[in-house]
Amino acid sequence: MKAKTHFFKNLDLTSILVPEDGATFTGTKVVCTVGPSCQDVDIMCDMLNAGVVGCRVDLTWGPLDFHRKSLHNLQLAMRKSRRLCCTMVDTLGRELMIRRQVKIGEDGWPIHEESFTVSAGQQVIITTRTDVDASGSVLPITYSKFTEMAVKGDTVYIGRYLVCGADSASLYLEVVDVQDDDVVCVAKNDAVLDGLLTVFHAERSSEGLSNVQNDLPLLSDYDKECLHILAQDFEIDFLSLSYTRSADDVREARRFLDSIGMSNTKILAKLESRQSLLNFQGILNEADGIIISRGNLGLDCVPEKMALVQKTLVQACNLVGKPVLMTRVVDTMINTPRPTRAEATDVANAVLDGVDGILLGAETLRGRYPCETVTTICSISRAAEKVFDHHYHYEHLMEVAFDVGQIGGDHQGVPAESDEDGAITPSAALAQSEANGNGPNSPSRGPSFRGSGIRGHGHGLRRDDSWNSVTSAGAHHQLPSLGVAAKAMARFSQVASTGSLAGLAYGRQDMTGAAYHRSPYISKLESIASSAVRAADRVGASLIVVYTHTGKTAQLVAKYRPNMPILTLVVPHLVSDQLKWKLEGRSSARQCLISRSLLPVLAAPSPSGDQLLHEAVVMASRVGLVKPHDHVVCVQRIHDDFCVKIISVDELGAGIKRDDAVMSHSVFGINPNHGVTGPHGVHGPGYDSPRVHNNPIGNKFGHMPVPLPVQPPTFTGSMGGVLTPTGLNL
């Protein structure tokens, strides 16, 4: 298979040395974690303007009142900045922590006054006793069964932000003995332990999963209580599900959210341990998106395979069109205004790998440069997006064409095996091919892969077999994305052709098996989505406009990673939360924000598609996404028919070119205070001129169009407001 090349066409060293001009849209999304560094409304506004599209509150890291204030401030900041932002709550879950004295500071954030200095070679005891205070030599742990988990030779990490390299505050410990309530360790490095301390118990086996896992619940009582309380006052768009181990975990979280009226909240499964990799396919099938929690994952995997783990996970998410976020990109920006070269390269590589977005943690939570961090990520991402190999990405997806609709969103677990036309779907084909022991695909057409290849060595093996059962005949029935991921791994030649995610985690390859069957079919929707991207590419369009209720169509378009922004018009629709019916659109719009290149705007339902489209073009022109004569590709469902159309921006950038427009309705005028205004009622972010009332008789063609005021030549992040057939209401 052809490798992704990321063509560096027309890039010479002179242009490479020039800083990124910021004159284009940033497709890669930035989600930040809110803490004392950025809770202030004005700082939040700056961050939204810099490109943040999502704010996460982390139940592990702060008290409920602080998070309530953060979410409240975010609402104020959204109103003030006129930017849309999604909300995310991160669970405490199965986190192990050190018990310490804590006070709550004036800003509502916990303060740990003491820090502990530990020297390499010294003894450190992790104890389950509850009657001791923490010190540099004795660290009481919150989990009462820790002594049952640890054995001599194990590695344990303790720190505030584990192994980030910026704090020198992570302690590496080797277990030398377990006595009653104490796990006796020896320190492997010097460290100063400060702040809230988490504990990570690394997998001891280099061949399989042999650690006993802690038996803490997926959602602690604290998580449940906080979610319940927060959901009463705030709309929570995403749950960031810590320590997801299996598809069952995702189902359990789904059931809980549904039970407290949070059916609209999507679940992003956090992969932070080797176990989550072993069960990745099931998790991917069940979750709405993935967070690659590289800090913890990096401690549980061999370093030499981390890059492959990252690339494989990203590729698998891309292939099924589910958003994937990545943590830990610019740790040093906690303390410095500039990333290291390695970090800058890391961000660019993540973008080239195909991530949807970056999830910032300590950088924005307690870092000194939260806004600079966001700006830096956006500039690096923009530069990388320019050389992203869109064509290769598209062709690769077409090769493994796959209907995301069959696996996403319905929380049923097992997708349909055939579609409405009765065509064979990948899952059916795969099962059949495997039942036959081979298939028309044959190893020469695709990689070898057997998902069930993990052999359970030792005790404590936790393996989610829900996605992959071995029948008595020995055939492996796999969900489609397993096959897709197998295909994805073909990218990594040696490892991938004989390995699996498990192989990557172990650092050895012990997999052989059935070959992936090339899909003979994609759904109508996916076909339309991919055609729109191809058309946009072929005509050199500067924008794709997608109408969507749920975000599904837009996500499918985003999956094909077009080279231009996707203005996503979210048309509200009726939903029931089992208690009442309501018009829903806002959360779908916010949830679109984390998918690469989606620029969602809430749209008012309108009887005529072209009025709204016209206003979409006007708005895009105002914020600098299109210019006169540019082409725009539009994807729309009209009743049961899907359509892709290509329109052009008029010569003034003030709407759809008349020849193309089925109807052009805008009313233009001159505002005496502010000079020229655009079509009445059209306001983009930062556009403060007073509103002019619409012409009551709907003057369609009677006024001379005038150019729109020129906007700053950059557009990063999101837009607020509701797009109506007469403009954007902020």
Ligand X SMILES: Nc1ncnc2c1ncn2[C@@H]1O[C@H](COP(=O)(O)OP(=O)(O)O)[C@@H](O)[C@H]1O
Ligand Y SMILES: C=C(OP(=O)(O)O)C(=O)O
Q: Select from ligand X, ligand Y, none the partner in contact with residue 636, using the beta carbon and a kind-dependent cut-off of 5 to 8 Å.
A: ligand X
Binding mask 525-564 for ligand Y (x = CB under 6 A): ----------------------------------------
The site partner of 432 among ligand X, ligand Y, none (C-beta below 5 to 8 Å per kind) is none
Residues 83 and 684: their CA atoms lie apart, in Å, by: 10
Contact 490, 446 (CB under 8 A): yes
Smallest separation, CB 69 to ligand Y (Å):
20
Q: What is the distance of C-alpha 512 from the center of its chain?
A: 31
At 96, the amino acid letter reads L
SS3 assignment, position 28 = coil
DSSP secondary structure code for residue 490 in this structure: G
- The answer to whether 370 contacts ligand Y (rule: CB under 6 A) is no
Instruction: Choose the one of ligand Y, ligand X, none that binds residue 562, judging by a C-beta under 5 to 8 angstroms depending on kind.
Output: none
Q: Which is nearer to ligand X, 454 or 635 (CB)?
A: 635
Stretch that binds ligand Y, among 6-14, 288-296, 548-556, 605-613 (CB under 6 A): 288-296
Q: Can residue 272 be called a binding residue for ligand Y (CB under 6 A)? A: yes
Nearest to 376 by CA among 336, 345, 334, 339: 339
Q: Which is nearer to ligand X, 149 or 407 (CB)?
A: 407
One residue of 327, 379, 466, 588 binding ligand Y per CB under 6 A = 327
**Cβ count within 10 A of residue 539:** 14
Binding piece for ligand Y, criterion CB under 6 A, among 287-295, 300-308, 482-490, 704-712: 287-295
Q: How far is the CB of 295 from ligand Y (least distance, A)?
A: 3
The interface mask with ligand Y, positions 70-99, x = CB under 6 A, is --------------------x---------
Binding residue for ligand Y, selected from 27, 35, 289, 295, defined by CB under 6 A: 295
Quick one: CA torsion of 17, 18, 22, 26, rounded to 10 degrees? -20
* Strand-pair partners of 583: 574
DSSP label at 469? Answer: E
| Residue 549 Cβ vs ligand X, minimum distance, rounded to whole Å | 3
| 71 versus 299: smaller Cβ distance to ligand Y | 299
Q: Which does 631 bind (CB under 5 to 8 A by kind): ligand X, ligand Y, none?
A: none
Question: Do residues 152 and 177 lie in contact, with contact meaning Cβ atoms separated by under 8 Å?
Answer: yes
Annotate 80-146 with three-state secondary structure: HHCCCCEEEEECCCCCEEECCCCEECCCCCEECCCCEEECCCCEEEEECCCCCCCCCCEEEECCCCH
Please select the residue that binds ligand Y; options are 82, 322, 328, 561, rule is CB under 6 A: 328
Q: How far is the CB of 53 from ligand Y (least distance, A)?
A: 17
Q: What is the DSSP letter of 199?
A: E
Which residue, 660, 661, 698, 662, is CA-closest to 679? Answer: 698
Parallel, antiparallel or unpaired: strands 727-729 and 722-724: antiparallel
* Residue 431 binds which entry of ligand Y, ligand X, none, CB below 5-8 Å type-dependent: none
- Return the residue of 323, 361, 585, 653 that touches ligand Y, per CB under 6 A: 361
Least distance in angstroms from the C-beta of 243 to ligand X: 31
| Shortest distance in whole angstroms from residue 163 CB to ligand Y | 9
Q: Which is nearer to ligand X, 462 or 637 (CB)?
A: 637
Q: Are 158 and 193 in contact (CB under 8 A)?
A: yes
Residue 600 touches which of ligand Y, ligand X, none (CB < 5 to 8 A by kind)?
none
Contact 151, 138 (CB under 8 A): no
Q: Between 244 and 481, whose beta carbon lies closer to ligand Y? A: 244
| Contact positions with ligand Y (CB under 6 A) in 618-637 | none
Contacts 24+ apart (CB under 8 A), 385-389: 385/26, 385/27, 385/28, 385/351, 386/24, 387/6, 387/7, 387/8, 387/11, 387/352, 388/6, 388/351, 388/352, 388/354, 388/561, 388/563, 389/4, 389/5, 389/6, 389/7, 389/352
**Nearest residue (CB) to ligand Y, 85 versus 163:** 163
Whose Cβ is closer to ligand Y: residue 93's or residue 426's?
Answer: 93
Q: How far is the CB of 426 from ligand X (least distance, A)?
A: 21
Q: What residues have CB less than 8 Å from 669, skipping those under 6 apart? A: 677, 680, 692, 703
Q: 709 φ, ψ to 5°?
A: -60, 145
Q: How far is the CB of 91 from ligand Y (least distance, A)?
A: 9
How many Å separate Cα 28 from the centre of its chain? Answer: 10
Q: Considering CB distances under 5 to 8 angstroms, the limit depending on partner class, which of ligand X, ligand Y, none binds residue 550?
A: ligand X
* Shortest Å distance, C-beta 327 to ligand Y: 3
| Cβ nearer to ligand X, comparing 273 with 548 | 548
Site map for ligand Y, 340-359, x if CB under 6 A? -------------------x
**Alpha-carbon distance 678 to 503, whole Å?**
58
Report in angstroms how near the CB of residue 298 gets to ligand Y at its nearest.
8
Residues ≥6 apart with Cβ < 8 Å to 370:
32, 37, 38, 43, 47, 363, 364
Rank residues 200 and 547 by Cβ distance to ligand Y and give the closer one. Answer: 200
Work out how close the CB of 527 gets to ligand X at its nearest, in angstroms, rounded to a whole number: 14
Least distance in angstroms from the C-beta of 504 to ligand X: 34
User: Using CA atoms, how far apart are residues 50 and 47, in angstroms rounded to an integer?
Assistant: 5
Residue 361's binding partner, choosing from ligand Y, ligand X, none, with beta-carbon cut-off 5 to 8 A by kind? ligand Y
Which residue in this structure is represented by tokens 């990745």? 280
**Cα pseudo-dihedral 475, 477, 482, 486, rounded to 10:** 20
Nearest position to ligand Y, beta carbon: 295
The region of 203-211, 294-302, 571-579, 586-594 touching ligand Y under the rule CB under 6 A is 294-302
Alpha carbons 288 and 271: distance in angstroms, whole number? 13
**Residue (159 or 725) nearer to ligand Y, CB:** 159
> What one-letter code names the amino acid at 197?
L
Residue 552's binding partner out of ligand X, ligand Y, none, with CB under 5 to 8 Å set by partner kind: ligand X
Residue 293 is a binding residue for ligand Y (CB under 6 A): yes
The C-alpha atoms of residue 704 and residue 235 are separated, in whole angstroms, by 43
Segment near ligand Y (CB under 6 A); pick from 75-83, 290-298, 537-545, 627-635:
290-298
Tell me the site size for ligand Y, rule CB under 6 A.
10
Binding residues for ligand X, per CB under 6 A? 547-550, 552-553, 571, 605-606, 609, 612, 636-638
Find residue 156's DSSP bridge partners.
Answer: 173, 201
549 contact choice in ligand Y, ligand X, none (CB below 5 to 8 Å, kind-dependent): ligand X
Pick 143 or 547: Cβ nearer ligand X: 547
DSSP 515: B
User: In this complex, which beta carbon is closest to ligand X, that of residue 600 or of residue 653?
Assistant: 600
293 binds, among ligand X, ligand Y, none (CB under 5 to 8 A by kind): ligand Y
Amino acid at 191: A
Output 97 or 575, the one with its CB closest to ligand X.
575
List residues binding ligand Y (CB under 6 A): 90, 272, 293-296, 327-328, 359, 361
